[in-house]
Structure 1
Amino acid sequence: MTSKNLRFIGLSLLTIVTLSIVYSGHFDNGFYFDDKHTIVNNNSIKKIEIVDFFTDSKTFSSLPGNQTYRPLTTLENATDYVIGGGLNPKVFHSHIFTIYIFLGIAIYFLALLLLRRNQSSNYNQYIALLISAMFCFLCANTQTVNYIIQRAEITAALFVVLGLIFYIHDGFLRKTYLYLIFPFIGFFAKEMAFIFPFLLFVYILILEEKVYIFNLKSSENIKGILNTIKKTVPAFAVMFLFYFLVYKPAVANNYVTANSSAFNYFITQPMAIAHYMVSYFFPYNLSLDSDWTAYGSIADYRVILGFLIHFVILFFTLKVSHKKNLRLFTFGILWFYVALIPSSSIIPLSEVMNNHRAFLAYIGLTIAVVSLLYNLYIKLQNNSSIKKVNLLVYAFLFIFFSGNIYGIIERNKVWDNEYSLWKDNSIKSPNNGRGLMNLGVILMRNGKFDEAEINFKKAIKIVPNYHYLHVNLAIIENQKGNTIEAEKYLKQAENIKSDYMTLYFYADFLKKNNRLKEAEQKLLNSIRLSDTYTKSLNLLLDIYQETKQYEKLKNLSEAILLKDPTNKKALTSLDNVKGKLEEINSLKAKIKSDPNSEDYLNLSVLYYNSKNYKEAKKASLEALKLNPNYAEAYNNLGIANFMLNDYNGALNAYTKAIELKPDYTLAKNNLLNTENSKSKMRDFHINESLVFYNNGNYKECINSAKKSIEIEPTSVAYNNICTAYNQLEKYKEALKACEKALLLNKNNKTAQGNLNFAKNKLK
């Protein structure tokens, strides 16, 4: 082995070791932002189900709107979850960083092949190593390397590069079209791999066919274009077949990509692309969630400037493409633009700009930069002393690598925890309402409610219709003890967007305020929207346990364990419920063989103790069918009706029990308690309707008054409905309500006044 080879091997190992040291501080960085719905809250990754991953896009995320088809990424997440025994960031980051190293090695071999075919130099392996090292040490890439779910970018890029390597190598894999296996695998990682045939087209056009766009009259150039099309047909065919036969049918119908129009998104992209270019050299403004918004008009100076910048760059790039020493530069620049087509074109995505989107594009830009610098180096060598030129080279390399290494270390620190990440985001992107909200959530978790509220209030001015902001303000108000204000925010959140997380937080609020029945319904709706969201499932288990709804508890526990056999809460709940159900099932079996009123009465007691009031009522009625004079059964029927909020039914049952058994003290006490509870609940809903009216929430005022009427119709309740309808300018409905109020109390002067007001408005 020559000293030259030893030197190269030493430099290569030094590059890998240095890169590993520079990134050593990131392996404990956690799961943030989109990691939450794709990894943390995604039950699908808790076990490796390869068939499910590749046939069901819902396994990618617990968020219905984000359930796209990336089965290879889901498989990687599941593998790391299983290997790490749970959410162990070290395992995830180690796997991702290993792929990143392999990508760096692949870039080296790609660059070496490109250099050998397009320029003759004794330093090709060093130039290729420089291309690989410059890319791997880019500070801008920290946004992808640290962001766990964006591992998809790295994996897809690796397979795209491998596809190009085996095509350019011109061996067995190219002749048999087996090079297409690599981009095909990449398609399963992320949609950005669809760009492979376009990159191949550019490579063949510029570097194999050597087409000069500014001389299309030349038959040689026309022939080159036709040859390029012919050579890339297989790659395009594989891509389109995959897209239409695999990807499109697999993507969930509710997958959402855009928040802006295609036109507004498109005219914003030139400046976004310019930002990616600037970030390559000066990564001064990297943030997790930018505050960029789509431009509103093509007349905006930023739109004009953006298009002008890229017109100049592309014009110059294509103009010099006929020069042999600049073809590689042209290829690199075109790679940069082509690789951004999926995210920076007419297809609008949910965010206008995201730094990680330029990851694959930066490979091309690095090839272009190094190629241009090498040509400049050769020119300077011919016109200046070698020492001066070498000094300039060393100075550039020192500034580039030291600056990026410093940037990587600092960005890794920013990604260290959620607070530092979102604090940094609030500084870099101060007009991002979602970012301010996320910072507020972290502050709230740390008990800094006042600071959290400040951030939420800032955010809601920017994005007033962001439902999660209303949810978080509700949590703040509830913490203060302002339950009415808290519920007002929750209802606003639900009206804006009734997604599974909004419903979960509303249910959590209801449970904390002992409104378990309402909480149960919200959770059922939440689970209907996303049956993999652990928090909703676990909270519903708690409610079923607390309310002793054992049949439901058993069914839910079993359903959870089918998808997640490791769910400790479901395992514990299932163990607890088996004994309770056995007692009920045993008595039901006895009744089936020998029906009698006493056993039905005992069954109603068991159902009551398990808080299954509907079944308790049914059992009491069955007892009364067999023994119509069974006072105890009437008492149990009264209790069941009371728990089901049927106060009149409860009063009738207790009255019947006392008629049959005049000295029945328990029934008498229950009767008195029901009468008191009925009047209290009736008055509670009347007072609640007044609170809603005073807060301007007229629809809720009407709903509360109707709840009061269901218990017992009163003139006051109907008057509240009349007043609210007047405010809503629904005068016909107001008229009917006031007439009912006066039927119940003809001396209700307020109702008479409201009636007259409605009549005047209808004239």
Structure 2
Amino acid sequence: MNFFEKLRKLSKLQLIFLILAVGFVVYFNSLFNGFVWDDEEQILNNVAIRSFSNLPLIFKSSTFSTGGAGLSGWYYKPLMTASFMLNYSIWRLNPFGFHLFQVLLHLINAVLVFLLFSALFKPPLVSFFLALVFAVHPVNSESVVYISAVQEVLFTFFVLGGFLILLKFKTKKSLITGAFLIFLALLSKETAILAIPIILVYFLLFEKDKVFSWIFSSLAILSGYLILRVGIAKIPFAHFSIVPISEATFSERLLTIPWEITYYLRVLLFPRILATAQHTVIKNPADFSFWGLGILVLIFLSATIWTVLKLRSKLFYFFVFWFFCSLVLILNIFPLDMTVAERWLYFPLIGFLGMMGIIFAWINQSFPSLSRLFIILSLVAIVSLGLRTIVRNSNWRSGLSLYEHDIKINKTAFDLQNNYGVELFRVGRIDEAKIHFERSISLQPKWWTSFNNLGAVYERKGDFSEAEKMYQKSIENGNYYLAYEN
């Protein structure tokens, strides 16, 4: 029996074991990473996570701690903070435990993706390879190794679990259980609201008798969420942000959409260049990034429509809806905190892989002689993606290593310049830190944090007069609590 025959004869349990094993090997190096970026505010400085007695508090306020300023902001992700609370109770401030929790949760999601695809289409080997791609794809690295992005992994876990239960629900109890898991997903991240229309479309396509039950359940889910968020926590959905895409006009945000879509397609298909803090804004319709990339987007949409018409598969319609519905939410029609972010693709990737799975299954059925070639190409792709993920995991080893790498790719990000300056300051490279704080200010003169940090540089150098000016500017721009303390 050759390799290909052995692979085809593996049981579902053996395939699941392989998914877990390969995924764990790829993310093993991330277990030894430290706390990075917002981890300082969400975990290190967040006293609310240090006692389970604060559990009611995280359901009545924002999940974002700003150290001396306490819990504040427009974020409402209580289950994310509850996960930090759980990990802190076991590991205290040892980042290893936080990373282990996140990696294991991601691997469970990869298994759930496999189970979902296996339930929806054949052959199982296609579902296996798609789940492996999900497990090791570099675009997921940020969601898996960045502790403060655990909400992506967490809400996806609840959505997949809830959807799998709802797929097979025959009783009122299973409907309630599935709906409750979707509710928990919403408490992990607001993006989980996507599950409501996605599941509705599935029922409309395949199980119309469940449509009314799901609409009623959805209303209950949304009502419960709004009562908690707006009624009890009093956290609105609108927020103020100084990032370029948030300051951009509506027309500028629309002009930026082709750049965003092509960026996401590029990192999905060719994830060679990855970086955080992307703040590109297209302001001129004559810019190639609008009309040139717009042509590429039209070609992609045309190819998708052609495939829909060619396959005439309701399942393909479903995954097209999953991908594009979740993509629309991250195109800054309503402004977000960045123009693009790799972690936002964690959930849309499942829809994208579902589309690819239907196409691969059709090719396998239409041209069975190509099945071995498909397996070989899949293995090559998975190895390549896994190696790229291992490298990206190492970029996230520390704040210094992350910013030092990403700033070479993304030189115009005001927050990246500031964060790199902070890490340089901490290791005593004061003069270099000063340069990056000044660059941050020149890129975004409204941001208070960079002025505060530049003030700390002047204070370290003994120039107290200039330091006071910077602290005062920080207070004027944002009423920044650290500037008061300094």
Q: Specify if TM > 0.5.
A: yes
Structure 2 distance, partners of 1:267, 1:28, is: 41
Equivalent residue letter for 1:269: I
Partner residue of 2:348 out of 361, 364, 387 = 361
Distance (whole Å) between structure 2 residues aligned to residue 59 and residue 24 of structure 1: 28
* Alpha-carbon distance in structure 1 between the residues aligned to 2:345 and 2:438: 33
- Is this contact kept in 2: 1:66–1:255, CA < 8 A? no
Q: Secondary structure at the match of 2:367?
A: helix
SS at match of 1:396: helix
User: Which residue of 262, 267, 272 corresponds with 2:260?
Assistant: 272
Pick one of 460, 463, 470 that aligns with 2:451.
470
- The answer for the alignment partner of 2:227 in structure 1 is 245
Secondary structure at the aligned position of 1:464 is classed as: coil
- Structure 2 vs 1, CA of residues 251 and 364 (structure 1 numbering), >3 Å: closer, same or farther? farther
TM-score, normalised on structure 1?
A: 0.58
Counterpart in the other structure of 1:332 = 319
TM-score by length of 2: 0.88
Relative to structure 1, the CA distance from residue 175 to residue 39 in structure 2 (aligned partners, 3 Å threshold; closer, same or farther) is closer
Q: Measure, in 1, the Cα distance between the counterparts of 2:255 and 2:72.
A: 25
Contact 2:50 2:85 in 1 (8 A): yes
| C-alpha deviation, 1:269, in angstroms | 3.3
CA distance in 2, matches of 1:448, 1:345: 37
Cα deviation 1:124-149 (Å, max 9, x = unaligned): 22222222111111111001001101
Partners of 1:343 and 1:273 lie apart in 2 by 10
Q: How far has the Cα of 1:235 moved from its partner?
A: 4.3
Q: Which residue of 2 aligns with 1:45?
A: 49
Q: Go from structure 1 to structure 2 and tell me whether the alpha carbon gap of 1:477 and 1:175 turns closer, same or farther (over 3 Å shift).
A: closer
Change (3 A) 1:167 1:375: same
Is the aligned partner of 1:485 residue 2:459? no
Map of 1:82 onto structure 2: 89
**8 A contact 2:285–2:291 mirrored in 1:** yes
Give the letter for the 1:196 counterpart: A
2:187–2:225 Cα contact (<8 Å) kept: no
2:316 and 2:354 in contact (8 A); partners too: yes
Cα RMSD (Å) of the superposition? 2.8
How far has the Cα of 1:239 moved from its partner? Answer: 4.1
Whole-Å separation in 2 of the counterparts to 1:191 and 1:241 = 14
Alignment of 1:507-522 (within 5 A): none
- The verdict on how the C-alpha distance between 1:391 and 1:44 changes in structure 2, with shifts beyond 3 A counting, is same
Instruction: Give runs of aligned pairs for residues 108-257 of structure 1, distance below 5 A.
Output: 108-115=114-121, 121=122, 124-172=123-171, 176-205=175-204, 207-208=205-206, 230=212, 232-249=214-231, 250-252=233-235, 256=239
SS in 1 for 2:435: helix
- For the Cα contact (< 8 Å) 1:197–1:239, is it kept in 2? no
User: What corresponds to 1:93 in structure 2?
Assistant: 99
1:489–1:144 distance in 2 versus 1, CA, 3 Å: same
Q: Retained in 2: the 8 A contact 1:414–1:420?
A: yes
User: Is 1:432 paired with 2:431?
Assistant: no
Which fold has the larger relative contact order, with Cα–Cα distance below 8 Å and residues 6 or more apart in sequence?
A: 2
In the other structure, the counterpart of 1:66 is 73
Q: Judge conservation of contact 1:153–1:360 (CA < 8 Å) in 2.
A: yes
1:34 match: 38
CA distance in 2, matches of 1:30, 1:396: 35
Provide Cα deviations, 1:223-276, integer angstroms capped at 9, x if missing partner.
x8xx89646422441343134322233244697354325613344234213211
**Does the 8 Å CA contact 1:139/1:283 hold for their aligned counterparts?**
yes
Kept in 2, the 8 Å contact 1:68–1:255? The answer is no
Distance change in 2, residues 1:426/1:138 (3 Å): same
What CA deviation, in whole Å up to 9, does each residue of 1:499-524 have, x standing for no partner? 223223x2xxxxxxxxxxxxxxxxxx
Measured against aligned partners, the alpha-carbon deviations of 1:423-474 in whole angstroms (never above 9, x if no partner) come to 0121121111211121111111111112222222333322233222222222
Separation of aligned partners in 2, 1:454 and 1:36: 23
Moved more, 294-303 or 270-279: 294-303
- 2:388 is the alignment partner of 1:407: yes
Match of 2:3 in 1: none
Give the whole-Å Cα distance in 2 for the aligned partners of 1:101 and 1:371: 23
Tell me which of 302, 317, 329 is aligned to 1:342. Answer: 329
Instruction: Give 1:58 deviation, angstroms.
Output: 3.6
Contact 1:294 1:352 in 2 (8 A): yes
Matching of residue 460 in structure 1 with residue 448 in structure 2: no
Query: Matches of 2:183 and 2:19 in 1, distance apart?
Result: 30
> Could you list the per-position Cα deviations for residues 526-557 of structure 1 after superposition, in whole angstroms to 9, with x for gaps in the alignment?
xxxxxxxxxxxxxxxxxxxxxxxxxxxxxxxx
Q: Contact 1:146–1:412 (CA<8 Å) still a contact in 2?
A: yes
After superposition, give the CA deviation of every residue in 1:57-105 in whole Å (9 maximum; x if it has no partner).
Answer: 2454236653522111111100100111x21111111111221121112
Instruction: Please name the residue that 2:18 is paired with.
Output: 14
Counterpart amino acid of 1:412? N
Q: Which entry has the higher C-alpha Rg, 1 or 2? A: 1
Instruction: Tell me which amino acid in the other structure corresponds to 2:49.
Output: I
Name the aligned partner's letter for residue 271 of structure 2: P
Q: How does 1:612-651 map to 2 (within 5 A)?
A: none
2:449 is the alignment partner of 1:442? no
Quickly say closer, same or farther: Cα 1:180–1:311, change in 2 above 3 A. farther
Separation in structure 2 between the aligned mates of residue 323 and residue 208 of structure 1, nearest angstrom: 20
Cα separation, 2, equivalents of 1:72 and 1:404: 30
Whole-angstrom CA distance in 2 between matches of 1:130 and 1:172: 33
Q: Does the CA-based 8 Å contact 2:200-2:214 persist in structure 1?
A: yes
- Superposed displacement of residue 376, structure 1: 2.4
Extract unaligned runs of 5+ from structure 2: 1-5
Q: Matched residues in 2 for 1:178 and 1:438: separation?
A: 43
The unaligned stretches of length 5 or more in structure 1 are 116-120, 210-223, 507-763
Q: Aligned pair in 2 of structure 1 residues 187, 451: CA closer, same or farther (>3 Å)?
A: same
CA distance in 2, matches of 1:173, 1:107: 25
Per-residue CA deviation, residues 271-320 of structure 1 (Å, 9 max, x unaligned), is 21321121112112222222x23333556543345555445444543454
Please tell me whether the aligned partners of residues 61 and 67 of structure 1 are also in contact (alpha carbons under 8 angstroms). no
Give the drift of 1:392: 2.5
- The DSSP-based 3-state class of the residue aligned with 2:52 is coil
Runs (4+) off by over 6 Å: none
Q: Distance in 2 between matches of 1:60 and 1:436?
A: 22
Question: 1: distance between equivalents of 2:134 and 2:190?
Answer: 22
Contact 2:141 2:393 in 1 (8 A): yes
Range that drifts further, 170-179 or 52-61? 170-179
| Aligned amino acid, residue 345 of structure 2 | A
Letter matched to residue 198 of structure 2: L
* Contact 1:325/1:375 (<8 A) preserved: no
